[in-house]
Amino acid sequence: MASRRRLARAVVMQTIFETHFSNESESRHSAIEILDRNIKEINIETVDCEFAHALLDGINEREDEILSSVQENAPQWPLERMDDITRAILVVGGYEILFGGDAPPAVVMNEAIEIAKEYGGAESGKFVNGVLNAIEKNKV
């Protein structure tokens, strides 16, 4: 069974993905409302809700910096070329590596790779690993 934190990372990834694709009728929902709905769908007792909310808040505050770092560390892959799930996973992992500080980068990368294997395409895990390793090595 996945840890409470891995499930929190997964619901935040799903929330980022969903808010990116929300249509006009859904845009009235805030990212926090979407996150809360996603947590309930998984089972609120199994998710570290406080961590999920802190993660989403941090990502919302620093999204431009995170996306810039992802792009700098994956120069052959423009953000628009990345599949949306992988990009959302990179945003979550990138935030934690750059600004989180409460989990070692190796743990963050491992969690992101496992989420990529579960939700992404055939090569997502390898791609996420490469980009997050580069972010860690090149962070200021």
- pLDDT tens-place string over residues 89-109: 999 999 999 999 889 999 999
Of 95, 21, 93, the C-alpha closest to 62 is: 95
What's the CATH number where 42 sits?
1.10.940.10
Average pLDDT over residues 22-43: 75
What is the H or E stretch that residue 140 is in? none
46-103, pLDDT tens digit by residue? 899 999 999 999 999 999 999 999 999 998 999 989 999 999 999 999 999 999 988 9
Q: What is the pTM of this model?
A: 0.90
Domain that holds residue 123: 4-138
Average pLDDT over residues 114-135: 93
- Check: CB of residue 95 under 8 Å from CB of residue 16: no
Q: Is the pLDDT reported for residue 25 higher than 50? A: no
Number of structural domains the chain divides into? 1
- Check: CB of residue 109 under 8 Å from CB of residue 71: no
pLDDT of 46 reads: 84
Q: Is the pLDDT reported for residue 2 higher than 70? A: no
Average model confidence (pLDDT) for the chain? 90
pLDDT of 126 reads: 95
Q: CB neighbours (10 Å) of residue 49? A: 18
- Check: CB of residue 12 under 8 Å from CB of residue 92: yes
Tokens 């919302």 -> residue: 60
d(CA 103, CA 97): 8
* Four-CA torsion 115, 117, 122, 124, nearest 10 degrees: 40
Q: What angle do CA 101, 90, 135 make, to 5 degrees?
A: 60
Percent of the chain residues topping a pLDDT of 90: 70
- Check: CB of residue 64 under 8 Å from CB of residue 18: no
